[in-house]
A and B are shown apart, each in its own frame.
Chain A
Amino acid sequence: MSKAAELAALIGSQTALSNRNLIINGAMEVAQRGTSATASTGYNTVDRFSFTVANFDNAAFTYVQSSVAPTGFSKSWRIDCTTAESALAADEYSTFYQPIEAQNLQQISNGSSAAKSLTLSFYVKSNKTGTWGLNLYKPDNTGRQITATYTISSADTWEFKTITFAGDTAGGGIADDNGPGIYVYWALAAGSDFTSSNSTSWSNYSNAGFLYGHNVNFFDSTANDWAVTGVQLEVGDVATPFEHRSYADELIRCQRYYWQFTANNPLYAFQYHNSFKYAVRPHPVQMRATPTVTAAYDGGAMTQYLIDNYHWKAYISSATTDTTSHSVNSFKADAEL
C-alpha cells in the first residue's frame, strides 16, 4: 500500500489516527506468563489472548510465542497439534480468543441505531488450507453474536485477512463498565453442535451459530500447525495498517489484566508493629478488577489483607526480635476477563 493510500485509508476509516487498535498485544510481543504451554488451556502464553478446547477426548497440543512471523513483525502465536482427535464429536470445539473490556468499546454505539461496523485484520499461516471461522460475541444485556469466515489458500504461507462486521443495532448494547464487551474468537475446530445455524448477521447467541461456517478440524493430524499475529480490530469499514505500539505501551496495557514478579525480584516484608511484618506492593497500573493472587513465600506463608485493584498487601505474625527473613518470592496477579 502506498503512503497516499495508507493516508486515504486512515481518513476513510472515520476513526482515530492513533489508538485505533481495540486489540491489546496484537503483535504477540508480550508474554509475561511464559512462551510455551502444553496441554493446559486458558491464558498461558502471549498476554490477553486465551485458548480453549471443549470436550476433546484425545487431542494434545503445544502452543508458543513464536519468532516465526511475517515481514514487519517479530512474534506470532502458534499452536501445534501433538496428538490428533480421532473423530470430532458434535460437542467438541476449540478457539483462540481475546475479550475486550466493555468501557473500551463505547465508541461503537453497540445496540443503537448509530452502531458502527468493526474491521478485523490479521496475518495467519497454517499447513491446512480451507475455510476457518470467526466470531464476535457480545455478552452484555442480550447475548449477541456475528460470525464470518476466512480462507487459507496457500499452505505454510503468511496470508493477510480482513473482515468487516456490521454494527449491531439491537441487543441492548454494551455496558460502560469493566466487564467483557466483545469476545473475538478464531475457530480451530467446531463440532456440528456449533455450526448448524447461520449467524453471519448479528443475532441472539446460540451454540448452534457460534462457529458457523468453520470447516476445518485443526486437530485431525499431528502435522497441523496454525499461527497468527498482527491482529487489529478497529472501528469502521477499512483495515488500516497495523498500529505498531512500543513494547512498553503494550506491556502496561497488558498489566491492567495480569502482572507478575518472580524469585529474582523478591518483595520483602518489613516490621510495622511489634508483632507483625507487612509486605505491600502497588500494582504497576490500576488493574481491571481486584486480582486473583498466586504467591509463594520465604519465611512462612503470609495472609493477604484487604487488597484491591490498586495494590496488594499481606502480613505475617513476627516479633521485632524475629531474625527470619520474610519475603514474597513470586507473585502473580490475574484480573483477566
Chain B
Amino acid sequence: MNITSAQYIAPEGVNDSIKATIDGTEMIVPIDPANRHYTEILRQVAAGTLTIADAD
C-alpha cells in the first residue's frame, strides 16, 4: 500500500479522520483500528516512513 500523504481532518476541532493519498487516490480514512488503511498508516508512522500532518 503506497501512502504518499496523510492529514488529520477535525471538523469540530477533534481529529475525526485522515485524508490520505493511497495508491494515487485521495481517500478519507476513519480512525478505526479495524480499518486496514488506518492500521497501515499507523504502521508506516511507527516505521518512520509517514507523518500525519495536523488538521488545517
Contacts and interface: CB of A to CB of B under 8 A. Distances in A.
Interface of A: 40, 42, 178-179, 288-295, 303-307, 334-337
Given A40-B23, A304-B9, A307-B30, A291 B17 contact: no
Interface string B12-48: 0000110000110111111010111110000000000
Given A40-B23, A294-B26, A303-B9, A289 B34 contact: yes
A293 B35 contact: no
Assign chain B's interface to a size class. 10 to 19
Most chain-B Cβ atoms within 10 A of its Cβ — which of A289, A290, A292, A303? A292
A292 B37 contact: yes
A334 B34 contact: no
Contact of A293 (B1, B16, B28, B38): B28
Given A42-B23, A294-B27, A337 B16 contact: no
B12 to A, nearest CB: 8
A295 B11 CA distance: 17
B35 A292 contact: yes
A295 B28 contact: yes
23 contacts: A179-B34, A288-B34, A289-B30, A289-B32, A289-B34, A290-B30, A291-B30, A291-B35, A292-B22, A292-B38, A293-B27, A293-B28, A294-B25, A303-B9, A303-B11, A304-B9, A304-B16, A304-B28, A307-B17, A307-B30, A334-B37, A335-B34, A336-B36
A105 to B, nearest CB: 16
Contacts of A290: 30, 32, 34-35
A295 B37 CA distance: 16
B35 A337 contact: no
Contacts of B34: 178-179, 288-290, 335
Nearest to B33: A289
Contacts of B16: 304-306
B54 to A, nearest CB: 16
